[in-house]
Amino acid sequence: MKKLIEKIIRWRNPSFRFDPFLNQTAIIQFVWVHGWAMIRGLRVFLYFKNPKGAMFGPKVSFFNLPKIKWGRFLKLGKGVYISALGKKGVVFGDNVGIGSYSRIVVSTSLNHLGEFIKIGNNVGIGEYAYLGGAGGLEIGDDCIIGQYLSCHPENHNFGDPESLIRQQGVSRQGIKVGANCWVGSKVTILDGVTIGEGSVIAAGAIVTKSFPANSIIGGIPAKLIKRRIENV
């Protein structure tokens, strides 16, 4: 049984191997949980969508499902909410995993729609993430991201002290995270930031400006600690 399950999992992750210390009870429970997740994924047939091997935890919900697109083996944890209220909606690549209780929200306003959220292939995002897409959010292929990621591609204008801040509108530039990045837990990325591919962001960082490829950054606000590749 162990070898069969391992072979099935390799359809999604070709390099997967069970740890030799893994006990049989854990494998049985794993199969039970993920089997039900695949059954829940089949409910998108009711909306004329192809599940493509999707696995949904309990209480996964969508808003504006026609503007949500995904590749093979999308995995959504318990309580994930995805709203594609926006100009271009939400796009997930192949083998994307979103941790439990995360919120993927392009925009919340009916009178000023946001742009898009695009997440590349083989991206894993931990629990309790909040991804906004008002000015556009793109996360490249093969990124690994810890819990509580927060992305906010929008700023409120506040230049006029005589007017209410909520009535002064917003500015939007967008956020882009390059491919093959490692983002630690509890990182916040603000509007206008581009993170170059191959970069590492330390846990708890607040990123307010852009960094080139292969940067290691951390702090509040985030600063360059060193480069992964020297003399470039």
Catalytic residues: 156
**Cα separation, 151 vs 100, whole angstroms:** 17
Checking DSSP bridges between strand 215-218 and strand 223-227, what pairing results, if any?
A: antiparallel
**Beta bridge partners of residue 216, listed in sequence order:** 200, 226
Q: Kindly report whether the peptide bond that precedes residue 221 is cis, defined as omega within 30 degrees of 0.
A: yes
Q: Which 3 state secondary structure label does DSSP give 117?
A: strand
Q: Which 3 state secondary structure label does DSSP give 92?
A: strand
**Cα separation, 67 vs 117, whole angstroms:** 11
**Cα separation, 67 vs 18, whole angstroms:** 36
How many of the other CB atoms lie within 10 Å of CB of 77?
22
**Beta bridge partners of residue 125, listed in sequence order:** 98, 145
Checking DSSP bridges between strand 223-227 and strand 97-98, what pairing results, if any?
A: unpaired
